[in-house]
Structure 1
């Protein structure tokens, strides 16, 4: 966990870059990530050299064995004059990492093509290098802490994207991953991946749950085919690739692709889909893939993405996705058709209503988590509803940690739905029969089914209330008279 002291150090580095003239948080994160990556290359080389010295086994070299090649290493240049450091990184190291994999088609190689080194001055660069060195040597140890550092930096992205994307808080990602429980054999995808938060959280869950028992074949799958993500923003793809790399996932499938377009023909490919797709805006009807229109004839992205998830999942594949409340109760034909598709042709398992403050400070939109399994043959018998009131953080713009947190209860109850059978509809969670949902036009809003108990309040008769008021008036008169006597002496 990142401590307050570490946060202060990161904030100091951030302020140094900001003072140098870079105010876009995405650009700051990009530039810091490049430097973190450059440093990690040298650390990896040092590990390889230590292994060679111990075993005598020759290890592959990251940096050329020449004097010029060795000068590209962080440990070689970090103590030099600021102007020399700036020249080495901008003119030698940065071009080297952009082309370091040659013709390799790793995600990192593809999206570094148009990367730019934008550190404003040698002095700012030196401050950042000194700050990062101090962080790594004194505060960070291993993959987990580095991942936490990156998560904290991504948390500074306080502006929503033009198409309605915004970062999903880590506790919500953790919840969704634990609901679908990915395994080491699964292929996991986020078709609107942003900074790859869902993929990273899935990787952390798999390591945490299965690391001790994973086979060599499963580790190979973990490093290559397990994680896929798509986005239409190259900056986001670059951050995705680096985010995954900093979490020790070196060969993910991160691709530039409009997931809703005719160019995306992926179908029945994935075991798990986790996503928070764009909520707002519409897309050009001509560009939408025809087989999505067959499920949901709409230009609304929030509906089209759910139809896309159904297409991309294998039979038996699981999905947890975030949807705005309008998806749950919208009255258009497209809204109703999509909900009927989930309920009638697949297995809709859960609708978890979230409070509107979950995505602050980005947005105050009310959302829900939909959990379903692709079957192609129905299977919805009962749908589990949960009315989440708290996620462990205040629901204002500050989002400070608080004690109230429904997430552990949601996870425990979802994985024991047999225990929910007798829960009354006045409880925070309950099951609703499929026929009730059908009878209500496939409305999936929890308020449609939740029952509220109104306590009857009995008031005294008017004459009793009036008598009480007369008594109070008399008492006030007495006290006023006593007060006047005290004042007049």
Structure 2
């Protein structure tokens, strides 16, 4: 995720200090990825101490015990803590066990661990009103992306975008809210915070309603074990029960289980690129032979919504214009759902250079199989053309989308009064018949894009090479999709590794 300036966002200062601690472990041969993973165990224990929520952690493994341990004892105590906290026979709390399951330290020198604990303990921690743990972790991922020139491996959604999407979709207590690509829980945490703010921290709700909010309302799937661990940590620190979170592949049969159907609201940023094979679910009938993530995830969202449910989904540009299965999927989307709004996002707001994305806002029809298209018109807001280049020196902020928020209106289903701004403006209306005349291509551009590409400011050979690698991977993915369409089956393309 990207961050405001240090003056406006104290988490940026914290992240910088945490990142500098990496030097303590570099002499142990620790990689950046290993360091970030290691740090999350310590951060979780520290955050539990800060929030005075250590009752589910045995006293000998709490932050205070680690902090007071001698240098000769601290490493052995820490190793034993990681083992025992992940042992269901020793720890009664299932969420703690799930968080620390198979956890292990790569620290070899007790002195280094002692310095790391002391340094973390000496940092100034910011208000828990924000998603402190998520901010710290994802800020470290951003640092790792900048340091390694290769990106962090996953496109975590900028917090500013999460906030805007949640604000527009207006989650309500009593609704089932799902993220089928949950990551570290940014959308779920933000939706939970939004609802708590509207209900005096849920105190306005009955005990039964409160229990639903904390145990059943939020549901998610994450397929990467290390990220799933962080998701559990994040929700635990927000007092949310993890029972409706699964470590699984959404495109496998697990994603079609009952608890991931009939969602009132879906908020998600699915993975992009090749999936390593087509979905293994029987219900994804349109994208069943597509060996990439984005199209099957969109079909999942369409099918997982209850009748009348709504969604806001981040997708790459190719979802708007791909032929074959892509076109068939768009037709299904506009038939079963009211695709009322598309937001064309600026480039440079994700880790990878040149990633071009959009947000689809749609509402499932109240009919199981509508006799005619549920979409009558699509409104497109172009926040990309003429936008400034975003990146390390110019982070993406909520204020950058304020004009879009105003144009979108108050109704989460896109029914607020709207005004077409004509060819000189950013917000345009296109009827379903106009879109059909374009071959159902939704990649509609009317403004001249005078913005600089995100990589125009790159200077070092490593940065330029990383940008070239990103474009090559994108090109190969598009070739693979084309081959799959031509051959009538999925084709896997092995992507080359860039030289370090």
> If the TM-score is normalised by the length of the shorter chain, which range does it land in?
0.7 to 0.9
Match of 1:130 among 98, 109, 118: 118
Q: Are 2:156 and 1:156 aligned?
A: no
Structure 2 gaps, min length 5: 1-8, 450-500
Q: Which residue is equivalent to 1:439? A: 437
Alpha-carbon distance, 1:321 to partner: 1.0
Q: What's 1:326 paired with?
A: 318
How many residues are paired up? 423
Q: What is the rounded CA distance, in whole Å, between the counterparts of 1:177 and 1:62 in structure 2?
A: 31
- Quick check: which one's helix share is greater? 1
Is the 2:175–2:217 Cα contact (8 Å) retained in structure 1? Answer: yes
Q: Give the Cα separation in 2 of the matches to 1:105 and 1:269.
A: 29
Higher relative contact order (CA 8 A, sep 6+): 2
- The whole-number CA distance in structure 2 between the counterparts of 1:403 and 1:115 is 35
| Unmatched 5+ stretches in structure 1 | 49-60, 65-69, 454-489
Aligned to 2:379: 384
- The answer to whether the 8 Å contact 1:111/1:234 transfers is no
CA distance in 2, matches of 1:429, 1:166: 27
Is the Cα–Cα contact under 8 Å of residues 354 and 388 in structure 1 kept in the other structure? yes
Quickly say closer, same or farther: Cα 1:390–1:326, change in 2 above 3 A: closer
2:181 aligns with 192
Residue 247 of structure 1 is matched in structure 2 by: 238
- Tell me the CA shift for residue 403 of structure 1: 8.3
Matches within 5 A, 1:395-414: 395-401=389-395, 405-414=399-408
Cα deviation, residue 303, structure 1 = 0.9
Q: Confirm or deny that 1:373 pairs with 2:360.
A: no
User: 1:296 and 1:352, CA in 2 relative to 1: closer, same or farther beyond 3 A?
Assistant: farther
- Are the counterparts in 2 of residues 298 and 304 from structure 1 also a CA contact under 8 Å? yes
> Quick check: 2:287–2:295 contact (8 Å CA) kept in 1?
no
- Tell me the CA shift for residue 237 of structure 1: 0.8
Return the offset for 1:429.
0.7
- Equivalent-residue separation in structure 1 for 2:291 and 2:217 (angstroms): 31
| Residues 260-315 of structure 1, C-alpha deviations (whole Å, 9 max, x = no match) | 12343235331111222122114434x53222124665333211110111111111
TM-score, normalised to structure 2, is 0.76
Alignment CA distance shift 1:223-1:20 (3 Å): farther
> Structure 1 residues 172 and 42, CA, compared in 2 at 3 Å: closer, same or farther?
closer
- Partner of 1:316, secondary structure, is strand
Once the two structures are superposed, the pairs formed by residues 204-353 of structure 1 within 5 Å of their partners are 204-212=193-201, 213-251=204-242, 253-266=244-257, 268-285=261-278, 287-294=279-286, 298-330=290-322, 332-353=323-344
Deviations 1:332-351 (A, max 9, x none): 22111111111122110111
Mapped pair 1:168 → 2:157: yes
TM-score, scaled relative to structure 1: 0.77
Distance in 1 of aligned mates of 2:308 and 2:177: 13
1:80 aligned to 69, 73, 77, which one?
A: 69
Return 93-102 or 431-440, whichever deviates more.
93-102
Displacement of 1:405: 4.6
